Amino acid sequence: MFESLFNIKTAGSGHEALGTLEETPLPDIVIADLGMPGMNGHQLCEAIKSDARTRDITIIFLTGEDTTEAELEGFELGAADFIPKPVEPRTFVSRIRSHMRRKLERDRLQDLSEYLELRSRNLTQSS
């Protein structure tokens, strides 16, 4: 259903998900279940956020767990959002689009910052 809206890659475990992050380009968003086999969602989030190459990827947890502690731990590790199961498709798509807009805004700000830094260096060297 969502394949027509997004470029989607799937993984059966947290370890498999980490393996897909070796590919380029990197995904804009990783959606992970907290209860994955082998490596849970919190461990995956921690691994992604500890790598300089992947730390800026938005992580969203899709979870059937309804505990504040699980959410707080996820946010402490760098997760951007929690989406409860069962998922209402329209709400899911809206939230993903909202995170994509934020990512595009961050990218634009980063590009502008790099441009201004380069201009500043050029002006300083010209003086």
Tens-level pLDDT at each residue, the chain (127 residues) = 555 666 778 888 999 999 999 887 889 999 999 988 889 999 999 999 999 999 999 999 988 877 889 999 999 999 999 998 899 999 999 999 999 999 999 999 999 999 999 999 998 888 7
Q: How many CA atoms lie within 13 A of 110 on its CB side?
A: 7
pLDDT for res 49: 97
Q: How many CA atoms lie within 13 A of 102 on its CB side?
A: 13
pLDDT for res 67: 80
* Overall fold of domain 10-126: Rossmann fold (3.40.50)
Instruction: Write down the domain spans for the chain.
Output: 10-126
End-to-end CA distance of the chain: 58
